[in-house]
Chain A
Amino acid sequence: MSETTTPRVRRREFLKVLGAGTAAGAAACSEPTGKLIPYLVSPDQTVPGVSTYFASVCRECSATCGIIAETRDGRVIKLEGNPEHPLNHGALCARGQSAVQGLYNPDRFRSPMIKTGGAWKMATWDEAIALLSQKLGEHKARAGSAVFLNQHESGSFPTFIDSWLSSFGMRPHVSVDFEADHAVIEANKRSYGVAWPGLAFGQAQLIVSVGADFLDGWGSSVQHQLDFADARAKGASAPRFVYIGPRRSLTGLNADQWVSCTPGGELAIVNFLLGRGDARAAATASGANADALTALARELAAAKPSLVIAGGRGENGLEVALAVGALNKAAGNVGVTVRPADAALGFEGISKQGDVMAAVERMRSGSVAVAFVRGPNPAYSLSPSAKFAEAFGNVAFKVSFSLYPDETTEMCDLILPDLHSLEQWGDSEPVKGTLGLQQPAMDPVFTGSRATADVLIAVAKKDAAAASKFPADFRTWLIARLPAGTAQRSAMLAKGIGAGSITRREVSSTTTPSSVAAAAGEYFLVTYPSPTLGDGRGANKPWLQELPDPVTKILWSSWVEIHPETAAKLGVERGDILEVKTAAGSVRAPALVYLGIRPDTVAMAIGQGHATAAQPTFFDGKDTGVQWGYGRYSRSVGANAGALLSGAVNGGGGWVASGKCDVVKTGERQTVPTTEGSARQHGRGIAQAIEASELGKPQEAESHGHIPGAASTAFLPGLRSPVAADAQGDLGAPTAADKGNQVGMYDPNHPLGMAKRRWAMTIDLARCTGCSACVTACYAENNIPTVGAPWQNGVVYAEKRPGFNITRGREMNWLRLERYYEGAEKGGFTEDFEARFIPMMCQHCGNAPCEPVCPVYATYHAPDGLNVQVYNRCVGTRYCSNNCPYKVRYFNWFGYGEPDRIQYAFPEPLNWQLNPDVTVRGKGVMEKCSFCVQRIREAENRAVLDQREMAADEFTTACAAACPSRAIVFGDAADDSWSVTKYVANERAYHVFEELNTYTAVVYLKKINHAAAGAGAGER
């Protein structure tokens, strides 16, 4: 096994391995992937160019959804949800899909590293393991004090670590999850007996979220989103949704009504809803509107059952969550809408932040001899007041198992790079009685990395006492734990899940709420984990950096949310750099003027602002190109809002994420990178909505008026546009004289039968929550380059700052998620405005304006309704884009696909992820959504090879597959057996810019608004 650090060599090995067929495993250093039974096809059919699918477990957050890893020629190229998994039922969020960019991250460590004299040296595993066991020997006396910080994950691994630790006489590890909402977990335990009960949105008449952002990655996000979308899609009978909180998060924007309150004011409101105290008192205590509260109370009383959900990031988070629990009990929701029985077990066993702080304090005391860090990044996540660096510095020997450089790893003495979760074994118990199996989907990208568990075993083997306690490798240990052992493993390999339970490690948590000094400051401050970057873990993945924040649509940057009123008071406009000051620290970031935040509050997302450390020097002068800090993509991007937190812990043992702060205008400015043009529709009816009460009634024309000569909607069913008629009638009719044999593909009798089909898509805005998972899915499927990195601008006299290309409007998002505001036009603070999310991609018009203007036929109309883009023929006049009313065509301004260019978007080994079915576009050509034509053709070919007709809904596009709201449906609109035809016939169906007679193949279903009983807000 050659110990090489350049991936290039590894690639050649892959080919060799392929040649060797199933002997592959033997050649590789870790698990023999060749022997695994793939999900869809059996291995003896594994041929180059045909995908193999591995079912595994997603480790991007604690929920542990099931994933299917699509591998091609031994490499993972795409992640999709596991349809059989009880949590995500085949959907997958943006962060989950970005796991491949963690796997192929160019900043992954190539080998173990040892710090000597302040400089890093690349080491072999033998050296590294020897060093570790030697150190363990040295410090045996103080072993009991050792600290092991592990990124929380459900399943057997925590138990394994503990048994290993104990075999060395060390105390159990700390299972860290900086994202977890501890107050809620604690309250849930007390109220319902489980950490994370199932939430049955569909059962409820009314949904009230008290600051619970279940669509922003809070808890088991995908699961909640699926249920929520299903509930909302029920139309008139769908539950109304009220959001209570100081700021409208993505969840808040999806609510029908926003009841704004000060951070911490939630408690008064929930108590009032519980019948304790009167509305006026609650209103004064919470800054909410008394009438709104009264109405809400009445509504809540009337709604049986209802569903009230709490978020507990505030100082009184626990109290709020407990009160909500009481509220649900009182309303009789427990067991109906709140289901402890269907609890998501991923959130069991998370250590409280209190435990983390306790560990930090022990370090500071100097009593800790050895510290292990695997996953979490306390140096970044902990409040500066925790002085982590100083405490960590007092530890004699510090070991990191991190795959990537990060702030904490830099301080360590030894780096033992772990395998990525897609490269190693593991398990999880997402819900009671169901096991998820995490299996390696591919050979390790870098031979220099090794599974932590196996490393620990290797170390144990060197210790007389511990050696006997462990089998040869972790895999054996793991399988032994499975209820039915090897047999079950083999069974689970196929589906990724199986029946059974594993004995969970119980954590004994001590929670002493730190007494929070009454913070001073003019404004309330709210910080929240970024929906895209989580607690910052996503910051080194270009897809997530390039994914606009669902609410603010800002990317490659941080921002301070501030209400227009406040902004006017401070004389601040979007882009003015503000300095936010708290007792703990201060942060500078550009202002974002946002309607959805209280005038007395400012908010910041956590996740950006990683340290930009200098490159370390290597003794042997070998530089792996790894960028320190937190990798090249997080360098000098944004600011870390975590620095504003006091570090205080609330009753639930979670951070107090809100407080008081002062805001100062610095006078500097910066163009905020955003994909947003105008946030208003200007009455153009792009994202349309309908009042639930209007459903079923004959609809009058849209408020934006019907322009004379506009198309009727008669063509909707089947979407047979004139061009289809022309192509199939005039040209296609076999009787058509003088066409001779030149009719070709437009002839319905053509062997391919392309002209028989019309690919179309429906998007149900009542389901779409704007989570943007589809956007990342599109990037992953279609090899779309990310263009926001600082070095991806021009070379001479070009600005080198993150997102500069985005400020130039050059993002390449084939599918973009637009967010329009309705209402609140006239200034001043109002809770009464609506957000509409609409995914916008190429509409594949029947009469496409882009086609006739192309001088070289680079874009034309395929017989099956696709608007085809021929990259090789494109000369780059960009006329098509000018003529596209939907502005969904994107131009390659630089050679993003050329490895020798500074703008290269897929630095090795990121390029291993590229989808072999899709070409990487060259410099100077136009590109756009292709309806995943590669999937269409693959399905067609498969049908032909199997000598059968294509089955209805046989396949779907990447965006539709990923969508956790099931809002996107794709299919053949000319064939009634496809489900897309049913949605097309829906009363809510409409086309964007219908009056232009473009006859689009994308049909949108109007969003459904639920006005409060009494408040008759008509259709906007």
Chain B
Amino acid sequence: MSGLIGVFAELDSTVNAIGELRRSRFNEITVYSPTPRHELEHAIEAPPSRVRVFTLIGGVCGATFGYWIAIWSSRYWPIVVGGKAIATWVPYTIFGFEVMVLVGSLSTVFALFALSRVPRLTMTVGYDERFSQGHFGIFVATAPDRAKEAAELLKKHGAVEVRHEA
């Protein structure tokens, strides 16, 4: 998907650019920023992250497994120790909890990777090394016929550089 990329030095100009781009129905935009900024989030108005779902499922599975492994293995070889019951749920709660945390957080990380498409092997189109440092960036995916319009729009909002990416 070809498009053009605008490099901005200032935050507010980036925000304004995004706003106008979306108003003029450039919908496939990717915004780059050295650090997460709420201004940008608001401007983009993206739906909330779905990481939470993975976290929930992972946590529940973990807790279940933690209890299960302890209880099942105690039952499998019922050996009395210290006059205690064979399967004692109170101490086994520790396993429920710990494994919940373990699986829960690992699935959260998995979700992060899956949803934000990392790891990626190549710096695909529309990235500039400045974006990880001081500059903000907007990549507008657009058909060649509207490219000129977008470029002007970006320039108008004070992009220090606008270039075509293919």
Q: Give A contacts to B, CB under 8 Å.
A: 721-723, 726-727, 730-731, 739, 742-744, 746, 846-852, 854, 857, 859-861, 999
Contact = CB atoms under 8 A, between A and B. Distances in A.
A847 B85 contact: no
A861 B78 CA distance: 11
B76 A721 contact: no
Interface in B70-107: 75-86
5 contacts: A723-B80, A742-B75, A848-B83, A857-B81, A860-B79
Nearest to B88: A852
B78 A846 contact: no
Does more than half of chain B's interface fall in helix, strand or loop, or is it mixed? loop
B76 A860 contact: no
A743 B80 CA distance: 11
Nearest to A731: B78
Given A742-B75, A742-B76, A723 B82 contact: yes
Contact of B82 (A739, A742, A746, A849): A849
A808 to B, nearest CB: 29
Interface of B: 75-86
A851 B84 CA distance: 10
Contacts of A854: 81
A861 B75 contact: no
Contacts of A721: 83
Contacts of A848: 81-83
Contact of B78 (A742, A850, A859): A742
Contacts of A857: 77, 79, 81
Contacts, number: 50
Contact of B81 (A731, A739, A742, A861): A861
Given A726-B85, A730-B85, A731-B86, A861 B80 contact: yes
Given A726-B85, A730-B85, A731-B86, A860 B78 contact: no
B81 to A, nearest CB: 4
B75 A852 contact: no
Contact of B84 (A744, A850, A852, A999): A852
Contact of A861 (B76, B77, B83, B85): B83
Contacts of B86: 731
A726 B76 contact: no
Contact of B83 (A726, A742, A859): A726
Nearest to B75: A742
Nearest to A853: B82
Contacts of B81: 848, 851-852, 854, 857, 859-861
B83 A847 contact: yes
A859 B79 CA distance: 10
B85 to A, nearest CB: 7
A810 B84 CA distance: 31
- Best-surrounded residue of B75, B77, B81, B83 (most CB of chain A within 10 A): B83
Contacts of A859: 81
Contacts of A742: 75-78
Contacts of A847: 82-83
B80 A726 contact: yes
Contacts of B77: 742, 857
- Best-surrounded residue of A727, A743, A854, A859 (most CB of chain B within 10 A): A727
A727 B83 CA distance: 8
Nearest to B91: A852
Nearest to B76: A742
A857 B84 CA distance: 13
B78 A743 contact: yes
Contacts of B85: 726, 730
B68 to A, nearest CB: 15
Contacts of A739: 78
A849 B82 CA distance: 6
